[in-house]
Structure 1
Amino acid sequence: MARDIRLTLIGKPGCHLCDDAREVVQAVVAEYETDASRRIALDELSILDDEALRDRYAEEIPVLLVDGEMHAYWRVDAPRLRDALER
C-alpha cells in the first residue's frame, strides 16, 4: 500500500533562500517519482497571501512541513528530507 506524503513549502517571491529550498525539495521529490510505495504531493504557499502564515513564519522562511509538521526552516537538507520520507 502506498504512503501519501504531503510536503508544504512556505516562503515568498523574491526570497533566495526560498528558491534554494525549492530546488532541494523538488530534486528529492523527483528521486521518488517511480517509488510506488510513496506518493508525494508538494504544495507551495506564500506568506504574502496568508496573514496567519505571515504572522507565524515571517522570520523563519522558507519553512518546510512534512505532513503538516515542521521539518525545516531557513535551509532544507536533502539527506535529512530523504530520511523523513523513508520513515
Structure 2
Amino acid sequence: MTGPAHADDARVVVYSRAACHLCEAAEALVAEICADTGDTWTRVEIDGDPDLVERFTEQVPVTFVDGKQHDFWRVDERRLRAALGK
C-alpha cells in the first residue's frame, strides 16, 4: 500500500511511468521496505506532467528520500534501509 496521496507528505517518493517493469520492481521493493520501517511512500507517475517527463524520462524509476534524489533505475535495498535509518 502506498503512503499519503501527496508526494510532499511521503518520506519516500518513486517517480515512475506506466508500463515500466523497472518501475514496478522499484515500487514493490520500496513498499516492502517502508512496510518494515513504518515509513510512508508514494508513487508519482510522470507521464501526465511535461516538466517531470523532461526531468526524469531517461532515469525512471527515480527514488527520492526526504526530498532528495536517492537512486534511479534500481532500488538498492541496503542503501534505502540505511537512508531511512538516519
Q: Which structure has more RCO (C-alpha within 8 Å, separation ≥ 6)?
A: 1
TM-score of the aligned structures, taking structure 2 as reference length: 0.84
Structure holding more strand per residue: 1
- Unpaired runs of 5+ residues, structure 2, are 1-8
Identity of aligned residues (%): 37
Report the number of matched residues: 78
* 1:43 partner SS: strand
Moved >3 Å (runs of 4+): none
Structure holding more helix per residue: 2
- Unpaired runs of 5+ residues, structure 1, are 34-39
Aligned 1:51-62 pairs, distance under 5 A: 51-62=50-61
TM-score of the aligned structures, taking structure 1 as reference length: 0.83
Q: RMSD in angstroms over aligned alpha carbons?
A: 1.4
Larger radius of gyration: 1
